[in-house]
Amino acid sequence: MIINNKNIDSPYYLTDENIKFFKKNKYIKLKNVFNKEIILHYNKVISGVVQSLNKIKVPIEKRDTYGKAFLQLFNLWKESEEVKPLIFSKRLSKIASDLMDVSGVRLYHDQALFKEKGGGITPWHADQYYWPLETDKTITAWIPLQQTPKSMGPLEFSAGSHKINEGRELSISDESEKVIHERLRVTDFNHVIEPFDIGEVSFHSGWVFHRAGANKSNQVRKVMTIIYMDSKMKLKKPENDGQQNDWDTWCPNAKIGQIINSPLNPVLYER
């Protein structure tokens, strides 16, 4: 099937209520971002790329918590010309820009997250722990490549939890699941666990806490994610090994205190 790029580049118009909801909760789920044909097309294309790149041969029951959570492959736009139009979609990048209220966005990186049959939980965490970025103007598009019922482990959010500082120093781990769960348990933040319709896409801020349940279905839960940052984002001095690794890997040759303008971080949308 040939996908017309107009179908993934045409504007998706957010309402004032959408903007207000995201500003308060730092996540949002949007229905009908893409039609079924586009999702099924990229399900097939991305599945092929993941299969060709995946080097993990260890049985799932012998992996640690992180390894059981998902197969994780990065920057598929550099590996496949068929995947690239989705990653460079102006429809998605405009949504990201509008939600963050910035004039434009750059790509931080993309990643495929495939939770296998029997795959375990993705522990509570905040993504920006790993990012050497100067501000919180970051957002991730979470794009399920199939209808995703609760049994498959859809993304869960603690609405408004970006206000919490406790737990920001934790990488994804058994410890982050325990510590952040306990912290969130005594707050008034709404824990949102909902299925995703086909074509539905969520967007979440880098500091909002989120997790995903185990995949109890008989299918692989296939998800493509795209991480955006303000087009004027500057690199900060890394505060942990994860941030140093991200600097070296996803922002090569970027300089501390300067706009991140490496070949791996193109501007995807500008007003």
What integer pLDDT is reported at residue 83 of this predicted model?
A: 97
pLDDT bin (cut points 50, 70, 90) of residue 63 is low
pLDDT for 162 beyond 80: yes
Is pTM beyond 0.85? Reply is yes
Mean pLDDT (whole number) for 176-195: 88
**In this structure, what token pair is assigned to residue 40?**
């099924």
Q: What gap in Å lies between CA 181 and CA 189, rounded to an integer?
A: 12
Taking a C-beta distance cutoff of 8 angstroms, is the pair 207, 26 a contact? yes
Q: Domains in the chain and their CATH numbers?
A: 6-253 (2.60.120.620)
Q: Over the chain, what HEC string results?
A: CCCCCHHHHCCCCCCHHHHHHHHHHCEEEECCCCCHHHHHHHHHHHHHHHHHHCCCCCCHHHCCHHHHHCEEEECHHHCCCCCHHHHCCHHHHHHHHHHHCCCEEEEEEEEEEEECCCCCCEEEECHHHHCCECCCCEEEEEEECCCECHHHCCEEEECCHHHCCCCCCCCCCHHHHHHHHHHHHCCCCCEEECCECCCCEEEEECCCCEEECCCCCCCCEEEEEEEEEECCCEECCCCCHHHHHHHHHHCCCCCECCECCCCCCCEEEEC
Cβ-based neighbours of 27, under 8 Å, separated by 6 or more: 157, 159, 192, 202, 203, 204, 205, 208, 210
Q: What gap in Å lies between CA 51 and CA 23, rounded to an integer?
A: 37
pLDDT for 181 beyond 90: no
What integer pLDDT is reported at residue 2 of this predicted model?
A: 53
pLDDT digits (tens, 9 = 90+) for 10-43: 999 999 999 999 999 999 999 999 999 999 999 9
Residue 102 C-beta-side C-alpha neighbours within 13 Å? 24
pLDDT digits (tens, 9 = 90+) for 220-236: 999 999 999 999 999 99
* 253 vs 165, residue with greater confidence: 253
Mean pLDDT for all residues in the chain? 93
